[in-house]
Amino acid sequence: MGEKNYAGERFYWSSPDGLTTLAGLGNELVLQTDYPSKERFRHIENGWKRFKKYVYGNHQGSNGTGPLLFGGFSFDPEKGQSETWSSFSSGSFFMPSMMLTKNKYEYSLTINKVVYPHESPRQCAVHFHKMERSVHRDGQHGAGKGQKQSECFLLEVASAEWLDAVKAATVSIKNKEIDKVVLAREVQLSFKEEIDLYSTLDSLQKEQDSCYIFAFENGSKCFIGATPERLVKKEGGTVLSTCLAGSIRRGLTPSEDLDLQNELLNDEKNLIEHEIVVRMIRNSLKDLCERVYSPEKPVIFKTKNIQHLYTPVRGYMKKESSLLHLIEKFHPTPALGGSPQQAAVEMIRDIEPMNRGWYAGPIGWIDSHDNGEFAVAIRSGLVDGKEAHLFAGCGIVEESDPAAEYQETQIKLKPMLSALGGNYHEQQ
Ligand SMILES: C=C(O[C@H]1C=CC=C(C(=O)O)[C@@H]1O)C(=O)O
Ligand SMILES: [Mg+2]
């Protein structure tokens, strides 16, 4: 919805448990940062704090209603700019002019307005009425025209270099320079026709119901995806994070699927990949929380195309720590970066043959009470007219085999390829 008045200024978010769905229109307030360091999290936080001092009324609505920010951060602010991501800052958030929230079965409409000194209360009241009426008028838009089987050329970017990088990483791990690093690659798509964002979102929503579905529109570009990985959810003093790392394909029959599940639960290479993430998240939370709970062993998490090892981690904070501070502590977890964190990020910067932009960065929302939820923007793509850039990565550990990791990225690309609905032809 909102295409006529708000194209380029829209977002969509839905969490897998169906608890919170948000659709926002219009950039009523924009907070952006280009700080090339961890300072970027505080920069956004300070901007939001300053703004909140002037928020009228004490909003006590349910989750994801009232004035809130939606946005995200790039993976690595020190990587430098690229043509593809040129309009994306290292952190960018907006408070929508209008937002529809669905909490399970309850719908709420939020209208935000920044009031300037010259505006009278009457003018504001007229504005709120107008906005509310526009929702009813605009409500019928948004059904996807359907882009199924649109012809599309698919170009694998630097896959030979990526395989070399995976090999080089396993050598560094054997030499004890690093424990784990996540390496990602890019695929470029050129469609004959404009990509239909509605159909894409619709397919993701239907096909990837165990994932967070997100779309962040920025001018003519839209960053969109279906990620299974929560970074952090904060509700009052309760913090929930999720470790998702270690993967295997889905079986073609229920019994093959179960065999693969058992194989993954007992596979040493994948258990190491996973354990490194759990250790880091647990330790980060222990610094901030008086109690941290997580099961001893991972369980299986399935999406339509892939199965993962999964460990939830929950903590109760000692003293209030902000959501953006939690993001600063966690990002990037070893599910996206590696371990040790700094060495892994530097290695990615040096040997990964692409610029991640917002891929694998934190994306989500934060309300005026500092509650909110962020996911890690994987299984995602940047859509621009007829073009799309898709990304997929793998956790590399000592036992990693480049060809097997390549296969894993192929599976991770499937959700976006399917949602975009192309009839794909490989371009050499
Ligand atoms: C980096 C990605 O996946 C991460 C999340 C889950 C499992 C992963 C793995 O098994 O390698 C990755 O760490 C991606 O999908 O691009
Ligand atoms: Mg893996």
CATH number of the domain residue 346 falls in: 3.60.120.10
Distance (angstroms) between ligand 2 centre and the Cα of 308 equals 8
d(CA 359, CA 353): 14
ipTM score? 0.99
8 A C-beta contact, residue 9 and residue 219: no
331 contact partners, CB below 8 Å, separation of at least 6: 73, 231, 361, 362
8 A C-beta contact, residue 270 and residue 282: no
At residue 135, what is the residue type? V
Helix (H) / strand (E) containing 315: strand 306-317
Among 378, 413, 414, which residue has the most ligand 1 atoms within 8 Å of its CB, making it the best to mutate? 378
d(CA 74, CA 424): 29
d(CA 250, CA 303): 8
Instruction: Decide whether any atom of ligand 1 lies within 6 Å of the 394 Cβ.
Output: yes
CA-379 nearest atom, ligand 1: 15
- Ligand with minimal distance to 399 CA: 2
CA 75 to chain CA centroid, Å, is 10
Please tell me the predicted confidence (pLDDT) of residue 394. Answer: 97
8 A C-beta contact, residue 20 and residue 103: yes
Q: Please give the tally of structural domains in the chain.
A: 1
Q: pTM for this one?
A: 0.96
Please tell me the predicted confidence (pLDDT) of residue 4. Answer: 80
346 tagged catalytic: no
Cβ neighbour number for residue 265 with a 10 Å cutoff: 17
Instruction: Decide whether any atom of ligand 1 lies within 6 Å of the 79 Cβ.
Output: no
For the chain, how many residues are written?
A: 428
- Tell me which residue has tokens 């692409």: 354
Instruction: Decide whether any atom of ligand 1 lies within 6 Å of the 245 Cβ.
Output: yes
Q: Which two tokens stand for residue 217?
A: 């529109």
Pairing of strands 380-384, 221-227: antiparallel
Which one of 79, 180, 234, 412 is the catalytic residue?
Answer: 180
207 tagged catalytic: no
At residue 300, what is the residue type? I
Domain with 388 in it: 3-427
At residue 130, what is the residue type? K
Predicted confidence pLDDT, tens digits, the chain (428 residues)? 677 889 899 999 999 977 899 999 999 999 999 998 899 999 999 999 999 988 876 566 678 999 999 999 999 999 988 999 999 999 999 999 999 999 988 999 999 999 988 888 888 888 888 888 887 765 555 555 554 678 999 999 999 999 999 999 999 999 999 999 999 999 999 999 999 999 999 999 999 999 999 999 999 999 999 999 999 999 999 999 999 999 999 999 999 999 999 999 999 999 999 999 999 999 999 989 999 999 999 999 999 999 999 999 999 998 888 999 999 999 999 999 999 999 999 999 999 999 999 999 999 999 999 999 999 999 999 999 999 999 999 999 999 999 999 999 999 999 999 999 999 999 87
- Ligand with minimal distance to 277 CA: 1
Task: List C-alpha distances in Å: 129 to 89, 119, 136, 155, 204.
Answer: 34, 15, 11, 49, 34
Task: List C-alpha distances in Å: 202 to 26, 152, 198.
Answer: 21, 20, 6
ω into 353 cis (within 30 of 0): no
Instruction: Decide whether any atom of ligand 1 lies within 6 Å of the 264 Cβ.
Output: no
Instruction: Decide whether any atom of ligand 1 lies within 6 Å of the 98 Cβ.
Output: no
Instruction: Decide whether any atom of ligand 1 lies within 6 Å of the 405 Cβ.
Output: no
Please tell me the predicted confidence (pLDDT) of residue 121. Answer: 86
Among 181, 274, 397, 412, which residue has the most ligand 1 atoms within 8 Å of its CB, making it the best to mutate? 412
Question: Which residue has the least CA distance to atom 2 on ligand 1?
Answer: 393
Who surrounds ion ligand 2 at CB < 5 A? 247, 394-395
